[in-house]
Chains A and B, each alone.
Chain A
Amino acid sequence: MLSLIIKTLASFFASLFFAILFNTARKELFYCGLTGAFGWLIYMISFEFYPKVITAYFFGALGVGILSCLLAPKRRAPVTVFLVSGIIPLVPGKGMYETMYAMLFSDFESTFRHFATTLQIAGAIAIAVALPLTFMMRSSLRNGAQKKIEKK
């Protein structure tokens, strides 16, 4: 439980400082960190209940996508701002490292296994990010933003 909180906090700050690296405007920084922490929290909870890496990554990325889509019209910023920094903790850096490490020792069986897992994770993230965007962006954000402007 304690490690859950510490890791969530760490991913919050990691995403927040990544947002600074991307030169995000100061007023959005907190929300960028929030997106990253939320995604990683869901990843860990999902992994706790169903210990399959790929589903956990899928739900984590889904959380990031949904939260970004909700934040974008609220903060009146493009979804990309939140999505890009929020997805960072889920980028399979570990998988890439393990693939490289196995290859270094000419262990091609594990090289292939790690590489395949990394690709699967990347695919899962891609699909998970896509889902909320296709469903929510079209209807709510674009019309919502347009209506807001018309109201003014």
Chain B
Amino acid sequence: MDFRLIFKTALLAGEIMLRNGAETYRVEDTINRILKTTKFAVVESYVTPTGLFATLDDPSIDSITMVRRVGQRSIHMGKVEKVNNVSREYVSGQISVYEAYSRLLVIKDLEPYSRLIHILCFGIIAACFTVVFGGSPCDFLTSLIIGLILGVFHKWMESRQISKFINDIISSGMVGLLSILFTDYLPLGTDIDTIIIGCIMPLVPGLAITNAIRDTLEGDLVSGLARALEAFIIAISIAVGIAISLSLFYI
């Protein structure tokens, strides 16, 4: 049995999941399940949102421990789902560790949806939420335009590797300015509040909030708190951006 490869597989699976928005307890669970297939005495993993540790020990081997630091995080649910399936198949004995490892390597390099589609998403999400919060057809159109501009800008800032929080402040500030422009100076939007609320929805930290709840409930307090802080800071960033742009015109 190639326990080193199993260890590498477990760590790779954990890293992919953690980088792409899985809850920390799920990452721990996956690593432990894969490592347990070695039947070794000590199997331990500790995962936080910013890095993971795993250790494997047995009287028959020198113990191995590895640390992976996870800095850049993005959201790719497709990868999480696929890694989940691979680990499930491997643990139940349907595939060998070699196949699991090679499949994980493929999953690691999966491409996200194209940038154009993401930008379109920004526009449609903003427009739909404006309707959900009670906007008129005119507001729908305004939000669609602002959302598309927001998408282009947000993606551009992201490609320049500007910190997410700064990106959120500037993007939401731009949303505020555009909303004022479209409602007060151009005869298009009618209800500025609804437009702004709809347009900032693509930026809200939905994943961080959900994962904060789930991690806390699984007793993983450190990760839960870290994610709650992340969600809170993103919310503050959005609020600050909007507040700055509104204060330029309304105070």
Give A residues with C-beta under 8 Å from B.
6-7, 10-11, 13-14, 17-25, 28, 40, 76-78, 80-81, 83-85, 87-89, 91, 93-94, 96-97, 99-101, 103-105, 122, 125-126, 129-130, 133-134, 145-146, 149-150, 152
Docked CA distance A20–B113 (Å): 7
Add 4 more A-B contacts to A94-B133, A104-B243 (CB < 8 A): A11-B128, A24-B81, A25-B81, A100-B243
Instruction: Determine the chain B residues whose CB is within 8 A of the CB of A77 once the complex forms.
Output: 81, 84
A91 touches B243 (CB 8 A): no
A25 touches B129 (CB 8 A): no
Check B80–A17 contact: CB distance below 8 A: no
Residues in A with CB closer than 8 Å to B76 are 22-23
Contacts of B94 in A (CB 8 A): 149, 152
Q: Are B78 and A23 in contact (CB under 8 A)?
A: yes
User: Bound complex: CA of A121 vs CA of B118, how far in Å?
Assistant: 29
20 CB contacts below 8 A, A to B, read A14-B124, A14-B128, A17-B121, A19-B77, A21-B75, A21-B202, A22-B75, A25-B81, A78-B22, A80-B26, A83-B210, A87-B209, A91-B209, A93-B129, A104-B243, A104-B247, A126-B213, A129-B214, A145-B88, A149-B92
Give residues in B with beta carbon < 8 Å to A.
Answer: 20-23, 26, 75-82, 84-85, 88, 92, 94, 112-113, 117-118, 120-122, 124-125, 128-129, 131-133, 193, 196-197, 200-202, 204, 206-207, 209-211, 213-214, 217, 235, 238-239, 242-243, 246-247, 250-251
Residue of A nearest to B247 (CB): A104
B residues in contact with A89, CB < 8 Å: 129, 132
Residue of B with least CB distance to A122: B209
| A19, A21, A81, A146: residue with the most chain B Cβ atoms closer than 10 Å | A21
